[in-house]
């Protein structure tokens, strides 16, 4: 009798079951229609990261920023910022590399020989960047593995829930169902393809459970009232979001409230729809603000589209570019990278055009670098051929390096050196080794020749002393009173008959000799141009006694004509240069310098022409 009194009336149980089933179905529909999708939540989280302008950061600051972001472990949220840091670092890196190349070229180097060595900062940055990419890849893989684990865990919960729904009802069932709800809520995301089916199965089983819980209807009603209080608090928080100025923060918070709302159990039926409409209205207010924001961006997106289409047209001009020099490819590469920088700074375009413009731009971009890679592959083949030529010259030089035929071998070695200069670029990894081997062979020969010529150098020292003695004789006689052109001619002949002097003393002794001749000529009353002509005639008179005088005189005439031609070419060049100078203090100074050069050259030409006319007399 007591048990019957504890049980609710049959009509009351039937009503409770019907109401529970209806509420369960409506709540299931509500969850399916209004629960935020995992991808949407993830998208909002990605936009959460604070925007930072890295354009004025130094390399050291960019490295610090990269370390700081990577340390957060939020690899998807920070990816955009990391790429921005990478772009600014690459810009500094490429600029430094170009400056190093320019300095190398200014110092007389060739672009083919240029090899840029990265700094310690560059190595640290690229190591950090590669570490980030590796960690991000591992993170994504781990997420996918975790989603699979979550799928298994949720399926296990469904199995447990089925056993509870199909099993015998106990007083502990309500506690178990709450534990199941908490476990379900605590498990993270699953593969998106399984998400909807899991929710449908979960909600269907929950509905069945509450339908079977008619005997505990009063307990359920109490639970629904508690759920009502929780959901009212959630709705109030959602309504307060309309006052938040930061739209991204508001959207993020709204997503979290939706997630919380759908995990709270059912509320009294009469409160369900009004409460949901209130929550929906608060959500729509935030969504309307977001929609209004994106509507305002449409014109900006259209302008971005026009700009990107213009950049595509600009990039299309490089589609069929071809060149035979590395310098030309590098110049065009700078232009391409400049266009890429403009592209990345252009901003988003309307979604419906995004894939199309990206495909066109990056297709042309990759096409250019494919052609550039082909060029360098062909260049590598040329460098390999040059390597073979270098090996042949090294072999020849090594054959000659121990020869004692100093004169002929020296000429051959010099010829080999001239050929070496014409070889062109060789593979970078063997370039230094090839040059070292060739230089070692040449140095060995010339060092042997220098050692063999030490005795000859001693003779040169004696010749130097003899020529200094002749200079002293000329000066001593110039200080007296008995001077004659015959004596001067005799001294010149004596000086010229003495052999070679050490190379380092050649200019010095010749200067002393000319000073002595000047002193003597002045005492004879011969000065200026007359003195120079006099000495020139003396020299020609001496040459007439040589059995090969005709050949020597022809050679001297040829040399004078070449000097005249060179000076005339220089004058023409200098006068052409004068036409390009603008009017300024610096330009005027340079003009005066060029005018002075031209006047000196013209005077020298006059002297040479007089010598030429004298030469024709012999």
What's the pLDDT at 261? Answer: 87
pLDDT greater than 90 at residue 263: no
Buried b (16+ CB within 10 A) or exposed e, 257-295: bbeebbebbbbeeebbeebbebbeebbeebeebeeeeee
What's the pLDDT at 18? Answer: 42
Percent of the chain with pLDDT over 90: 3
Over range 148-153, report the average pLDDT: 86
CA nearest to 311, candidates 360, 355, 351: 360
pLDDT, tens digit (0-9, with 9 covering 90-100), for 468-520: 998 999 888 888 877 887 887 788 878 878 888 888 888 898 888 888 878 88
Distance CA 319, CA 99 (A): 28
Percent of the chain with pLDDT over 70: 84
pLDDT, tens digit (0-9, with 9 covering 90-100), for 70-128: 888 887 888 888 888 888 889 888 988 888 888 888 888 888 888 888 888 888 888 98
Distance CA 599, CA 615 (A): 24
Please state, rounded to an integer, the average pLDDT across all residues of the chain: 79
pLDDT, tens digit (0-9, with 9 covering 90-100), for 311-335: 888 888 888 888 877 788 888 899 8
pLDDT greater than 70 at residue 23: no
Distance CA 374, CA 377 (A): 5
Distance CA 93, CA 59 (A): 9
CB 441 within 8 A of CB 417: no
Over range 243-254, report the average pLDDT: 85
Kindly report the pTM of this predicted structure: 0.30
pLDDT greater than 70 at residue 170: no
Residue 548 pLDDT class (50, 70, 90 cuts):
low
pLDDT greater than 60 at residue 541: no
Over range 436-440, report the average pLDDT: 88
Residue 130 pLDDT class (50, 70, 90 cuts):
very high
pLDDT greater than 90 at residue 283: yes
Distance CA 176, CA 170 (A): 10
Angle at 473 between CA 470 and CA 474, to 5 degrees: 90
pLDDT, tens digit (0-9, with 9 covering 90-100), for 398-428: 888 888 888 888 888 888 888 888 887 788 7
What is the DSSP-derived secondary structure letter of residue 111? G
What's the pLDDT at 554? Answer: 80
pLDDT greater than 90 at residue 54: no
Distance CA 411, CA 403 (A): 12
pLDDT greater than 80 at residue 10: no
Sign, CA dihedral 567-570-576-580, equals negative
């Amino acid at each position: 009798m007591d048990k019957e009194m504890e049980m609710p009336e049959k009509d009351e149980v039937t009503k409770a079951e019907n109401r529970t089933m209806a509420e369960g179905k409506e709540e299931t529909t509500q969850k399916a229609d209004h629960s935020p999708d995992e991808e949407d939540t993830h998208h909002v989280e990605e936009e959460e990261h604070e925007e930072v302008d890295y354009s004025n950061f130094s390399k050291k600051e960019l490295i610090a920023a990269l370390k700081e972001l990577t340390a957060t472990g939020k690899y998807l949220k920070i990816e955009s910022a990391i790429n921005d840091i990478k772009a600014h670092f690459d810009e500094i890196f490429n600029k430094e590399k170009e400056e190093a190349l320019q300095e190398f070229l200014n110092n007389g180097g060739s672009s083919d020989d240029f090899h840029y060595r990265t700094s310690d900062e560059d190595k640290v940055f690229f190591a950090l960047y590669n570490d980030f990419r590796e960690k991000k890849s591992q993170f994504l893989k781990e997420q996918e593995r975790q989603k699979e684990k979550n799928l298994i865990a949720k399926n296990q919960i469904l199995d447990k829930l089925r056993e509870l729904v199909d099993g015998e009802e106990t007083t502990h069932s309500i506690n178990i169902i709450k534990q199941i709800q908490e476990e379900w809520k605590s498990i993270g995301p699953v593969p998106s393809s399984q998400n909807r089916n899991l929710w449908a199965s979960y909600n269907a089983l929950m509905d069945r459970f509450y339908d079977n819980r008619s005997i505990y209807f009063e307990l359920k009603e109490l639970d629904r009232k508690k759920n009502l209080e929780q959901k009212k608090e959630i709705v109030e928080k959602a309504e307060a979001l309309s006052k938040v100025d930061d739209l991204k923060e508001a959207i993020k918070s709204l997503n979290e409230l939706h997630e919380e709302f759908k995990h709270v159990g059912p509320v009294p039926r009469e409160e369900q729809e009004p409460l949901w409409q209130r929550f929906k209205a608060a959500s729509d207010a935030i969504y309307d603000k977001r929609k209004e924001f994106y509507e305002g961006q449409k014109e900006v997106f259209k302008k971005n589209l026009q700009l990107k289409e213009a950049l595509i047209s600009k990039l299309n001009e490089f589609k069929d570019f071809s060149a035979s020099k590395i310098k030309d490819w590098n110049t065009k590469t700078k232009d391409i990278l400049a266009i890429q920088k403009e592209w990345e700074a252009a901003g988003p375009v309307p979604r419906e055009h995004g894939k199309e413009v990206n495909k066109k731009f990056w297709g042309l971009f990759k096409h250019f670098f494919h052609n550039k890679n082909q060029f360098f592959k062909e260049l590598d083949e040329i460098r390999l051929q040059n390597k073979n030529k270098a090996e042949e010259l090294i072999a020849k030089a090594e054959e000659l390096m121990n020869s004692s035929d100093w004169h002929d071998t020296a000429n051959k070695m010099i010829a080999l050196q001239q050929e070496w200069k014409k070889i062109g670029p060789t593979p970078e990894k063997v370039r230094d080794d090839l040059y070292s081997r060739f230089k070692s062979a040449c140095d060995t020969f010339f060092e042997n020749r220098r050692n063999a010529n030490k005795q000859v150098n001693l003779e040169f020292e004696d010749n130097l002393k003899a020529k200094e003695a002749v200079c002293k004789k000329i000066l001593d006689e110039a200080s007296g009173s008995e001077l004659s052109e015959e004596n001067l001619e005799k001294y010149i002949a004596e000086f010229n008959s003495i052999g070679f002097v050490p190379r380092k003393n050649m200019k010095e002794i010749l200067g002393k000799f000319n000073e002595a001749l000047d002193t003597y000529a002045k005492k004879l009353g011969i000065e200026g141009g007359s003195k120079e002509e006099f000495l020139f005639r003396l020299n020609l008179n001496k040459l007439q006694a040589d059995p090969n005088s005709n050949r020597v005189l022809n050679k001297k005439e040829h040399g004078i004509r070449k000097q005249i031609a060179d000076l005339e070419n220089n004058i023409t060049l200098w006068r052409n240069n004068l036409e390009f100078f603008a009017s300024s203090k610096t330009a005027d100074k340079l003009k005066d310098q060029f005018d002075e050069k031209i006047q000196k050259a013209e005077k020298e030409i006059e002297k040479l022409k007089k010598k030429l006319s004298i030469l024709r007399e012999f």
